[in-house]
Structure 1
Amino acid sequence: MSHPEITVVLADDHPVVRSGLRALLSSTPGVRVVAEAVNGREAIQAAAAYRPTVLLVDLQMPELDGIDATRAVVAVAPSTAVLVLTMFEDDESVFAAVRAGARGYILKGAGPDEILRALRCVAEGGVIFGPSIARRIDALLSPGPDDLPNLPFPQLTEREREVLDLIAAGLANGQICDKLGLAVKTVGNHISSIFAKLQVADRAQAIVRARDAGLGR
């Protein structure tokens, strides 16, 4: 069975980086680069115009950085998955990107196979982090000995835990919206954040984790 074409907007202010990524993606069957951007504003405009499957974006760009661009793209083109490709691996950058709505975060030292794997993952609705980033997130989000040991997934906000509980109970996104009185986009953002914090790739994995912790009953 053939998979849907993955369309990509590349956003990076370094021509050499864009050229390398374009060469990699253009030689990959089922992937097509539809536009390039050299700053955050152009990234937002391209995402709004082309509605790509994936926006592959750097964090440090002129005029508007990758964090603000990610936040805007999630708002104007919610069907576009944002994958951050950057040299920055500090905690502040990682969590700022996740809070802005990025579905993936990998470093520029990643090999071609890792970049393509991450691209396909976010294109299919998953969440992915490079190995060193994933370890950092796990360490930062792991509860300490005094952190509410009886509360499942203390790294989640109260609202995110409510959403996860309803997911585990088998409710679809629309039903969760009705139950909690939230907009579709808001629920989608909560789910993206939940997947990132729990390091799960899809809804099925989230349900298994949640039910193992006693949610969804």
Structure 2
Amino acid sequence: MIRVLLADDEPLILAGIRTVLESAGDIEVVAEAGDGRAAVEEALRHRVDVALVDISMPVLDGLSAVEELARQAPGVRAVVLTSFGVESNVQRALASGTAGFVLKNCRPEELIRAVRAAYEGDAYLSPAVTRMVLGMVTPEPRREAAERLAALTVREADVVHLVAEGLSNAEIGRRLHMSEATIKTYVSRVLAKLGCVNRVQAALLARDAGGPPPRRRPPER
């Protein structure tokens, strides 16, 4: 079972998310919190796998809670709950190592996929969330971004640009005719080469580079 913490200061939202997640069968909500400080304490107390954290909370905001979790419990994968057009600290969330962003009005199956992806070391970013995040963060100069991506092989570049489209590992695998496990390995390798904390940062870098690079190297075998 995937052990999950829910953190939101609205009881009705907490109840709704719990119902959705526990309907999955492999997810157990083991703790809830109504503020960021309590979220950190409960995550540590219950040794959760995934923390689903709202940004706007009292005592300690969600982003501060995610940063605190990264320091005290780096094994906890944090997924941020957000809404269109209201977040001004996306860059801060990315730097903290947030596993992903989920819209509060997403479909139930998306929420379940987000938790499973985070648990598996991935991040779930629907195309809508990816577009929102990419549109809110100031671009890195194109030349610098392109130079960083130039270190990738052709296949790694293919993968990172599909990540930027908001595709999951399974979807990328189908697109490139490769197994999901192989794509997961590629994503890990790409993040290490680019010095990115997570898929969101890699997606931003791909956006800033202005599109896929010329295919000057032969594909990997």
Q: Deviations over 1:140-166 (max 9, x none)?
A: 576666x34761239xxxxxxxxxxxx
Aligned match of 2:181: none
Q: Tell me, in whole angstroms, the C-alpha distance in 2 between the residues paired with 1:213 and 1:131.
A: 28
Shift of 1:86: 2.2
Q: Tell me, in whole angstroms, the C-alpha distance in 2 between the residues paired with 1:123 and 1:42.
A: 21
Aligned match of 1:197: 201
Structure 2 residue 49 is the aligned partner of structure 1 residue 49: no
Aligned match of 2:208: none
Shift of 1:113: 0.7
Q: Tell me, in whole angstroms, the C-alpha distance in 1 between the residues paired with 2:116 and 2:4.
A: 11
Structure 2 residue 93 is the aligned partner of structure 1 residue 97: yes
Whether the 8 Å contact between 1:141 and 1:197 is mirrored in structure 2 is no
| RMSD over aligned Cα atoms | 3.3
Aligned match of 1:59: 55
Aligned match of 2:78: 82
Whether the 8 Å contact between 2:113 and 2:124 is mirrored in structure 1 is no
Whether the 8 Å contact between 1:127 and 1:199 is mirrored in structure 2 is no
Stretch of structure 1 that moved more, 22-31 or 106-115 = 22-31
Aligned match of 2:14: 18
Give the unaligned 5+ runs of structure 1: 155-166, 177-189, 201-208
Whether the 8 Å contact between 1:7 and 1:33 is mirrored in structure 2 is yes
Give the unaligned 5+ runs of structure 2: 151-184, 205-211
Whether the 8 Å contact between 2:22 and 2:29 is mirrored in structure 1 is yes
Shift of 1:100: 1.8
Aligned pairs, how many?
A: 171
Shift of 1:136: 3.7
Whether the 8 Å contact between 2:84 and 2:132 is mirrored in structure 1 is no
Runs of 4+ with deviation above 6 angstroms = none
- TM-score, with normalisation over the residues of structure 1? 0.67
Q: Tell me, in whole angstroms, the C-alpha distance in 2 between the residues paired with 1:131 and 1:96.
A: 21
Paired-residue identity, %: 31
- Given the superposition, is the C-alpha separation of residues 144 and 25 from structure 1 closer, same or farther in structure 2, using an over 3 Å criterion? same
Q: Deviations over 1:84-124 (max 9, x none)?
A: 11225456332221112211101101010111111111110
